[in-house]
Structure 1
Amino acid sequence: MDERQRLINLAYRLLGSLADAEDVVQETYARWYALTDAQRADIKVPAAWLTTVASRVCLSLLGSARVRRETYVGEWIPEPLPEPTEWISGGAADGGVDPADRVSLDESVSMAFLVVFESMTPAERVAFVLHDVFRYPFADVAEIVGRSSAACRQLASSARRRIREARADAGPSAGHAAVVRDFKAAWGAKDIGAMIGLLDPDAVWVADGGGKALTILDPMVGGEQIARAYLRIAEVAPAHTLLERTVNGLPGLVVQQHDRIVTVFAFEVVDERITRIWAVRNPDKLRPWAMR
């Protein structure tokens, strides 16, 4: 069970869903305990066996996920995660955070990275995450993916190229938190001029309601258009509280209504302006944010 946290971390990066990651780990352990004592004794490195099985389960799920998302209502955004100390795992019986269920937060788990991961083929994603994030040698990656080491090197290289192309202008912004805080203040004050000034002219807003929460179905492009849309939301939205929270390792915002988180916002900030807003409203994806 010491491997559980590492497997959760791996599966979440591969699938973009904590719920699916937990299912993968459960399936991995079910296969482990289905072995006989003699079979388990023959496995020299249990951690490597667990990683191989979990990665292959993820690889299979990634293929079927593409088919499922063809019928998804609106845009699909990876499941947002709060700071580990801010959320409670569904598996923590005592109401506290179970360390085994935490996802460690680094650049590879930022919303911007996870969205780029979605553009990769399943094999590219697995090769990149295993090698570049978890530092597995290509020989081990090849065994998991079922391709040669040379092919896995090409897969990882292709994945890196996708990331470079998608995030050519992006990078860590020292002013990220300040920009998000200013956006919160401007939105709360219904200051349309300030909101437009904080948004890049070509900013993109993507929302995910999954057909279960009201939101835009298609991405909205244009800083002024987005600002005016957010102003209309502020004017008609029910009573709520807008809170600053860590979202996938970076400053973000959440909307709380009646002690319940109903929307999570993640941001990409470049040159002190917001270039991307991801708004997740699908209640199925807000489970880690449930207030206890």
Structure 2
Amino acid sequence: MTDVSAGTLAEMLDERQHLLEIALWMFGSESTADRIVQETYRRWYALDDEERAGIVVPRAWLTRVAGGICLELLAAPGPLPVPGSAGAPAPRPRPAMLPAHQQARPDQGMLVRHDRVARRFAAACDLGDAAALRAVLAADAIVVSDGGGKLRAPVRPTYGADAVARFVTSLLAGRPGTEVAVESVNGRTGLVLRQAGRAVAVVGVSVAEAEITAVWIVLNPDKLQHWHRP
């Protein structure tokens, strides 16, 4: 099943910022606000498929939940408690990592072929050209995105060249001010998307012959800090 209800990358980032602003307004602490947003998304992912499908306007639901968590914390006696599963200390930020098989050291010919295909993919992404994306994808291509529970990213992989092309085009649409840069991702050519120097997505691809077989999109803010630029 394809889960594309999360909308575009621009919409997801705007949604997260909206929730952060609610929590900041209530508490004035960025660390507390981040924990509140994380707990809000944890509750979203705790729903089953049928419950999520029944939510007509997810942003409104998330806003109500974030506000409710704020009220719960304000009403709690004693020191400010840490909401939900966010109590564990945050791991030290690491570079965005993609599946282990992409980290092997291929020969130079494979790297050159990978670079050529990845750059075709990057050009199609930059133009938002679904047909060009479809042309570089294998028929059974897959796309997987990782929001780390901190963005309302799709919870399932998307399969098939047509569906993957639509997914990627939709995800990257509506992104004014976003720079698409071709950079090394785990030792191979990939893409980094930035807004005002801050990375908002890192994209890696798996290549077989002249086609892309898998697209890996890291959206988790904790994994993107390494990719920020002045």
Task: Give TM-score scaled by structure 1 length.
Answer: 0.42
Gap regions ≥5 residues in structure 2: 1-42, 47-92
CA RMSD of aligned residues (A): 3.1
Q: Does 1:269 align with 2:211?
A: no
Structure exhibiting the larger radius of gyration computed from Cα positions? 1
C-alpha distance after superposition, 1:27-69 (max 9, x if no partner) = xxxxxxxxxxxxxxxxxxxxxxxxxxxxxxxxxxxxxxxxxxx
8 Å Cα contact 2:193-2:199 kept in structure 1: yes
**Alignment size in residue pairs:** 138
1:183 aligns to what SS in structure 2?
helix
Q: Distance in 2 between matches of 1:115 and 1:274?
A: 13
Which of 173, 179, 182 lines up with 1:235 in the alignment?
173
Q: Distance in 2 between matches of 1:262 and 1:235?
A: 14
Q: Distance in 1 between matches of 2:178 and 2:214?
A: 23
Q: Distance in 1 between matches of 2:102 and 2:133?
A: 24
TM-aligned CA deviation for residue 114 of structure 1: 5.5
Q: What's 1:113 paired with?
A: 100
* Higher relative contact order (CA closer than 8 Å, sequence separation 6+): 2
8 Å Cα contact 2:199-2:227 kept in structure 1: yes
Q: Distance in 2 between matches of 1:283 and 1:277?
A: 18
Which of 137, 144, 149 lines up with 1:199 in the alignment?
137
Q: Does 1:284 align with 2:201?
A: no
TM-aligned CA deviation for residue 239 of structure 1: 2.7
C-alpha distance after superposition, 1:194-242 (max 9, x if no partner) = 1101011111111100121242111111111111122223332343010
Gap regions ≥5 residues in structure 1: 1-70, 83-109, 117-132, 134-170
Q: 1:281 to 1:220 in 2, by over 3 A?
A: same
Q: 1:196 to 1:177 in 2, by over 3 A?
A: same
Q: Distance in 2 between matches of 1:201 and 1:114?
A: 21
8 Å Cα contact 1:81-1:247 kept in structure 2: no
8 Å Cα contact 1:81-1:248 kept in structure 2: no
Q: What's 2:127 paired with?
A: 189
Q: Distance in 2 between matches of 1:243 and 1:115?
A: 19
Q: Distance in 2 between matches of 1:242 and 1:209?
A: 19
8 Å Cα contact 2:143-2:214 kept in structure 1: yes
User: What code does the residue aligned with 1:244 have?
Assistant: V
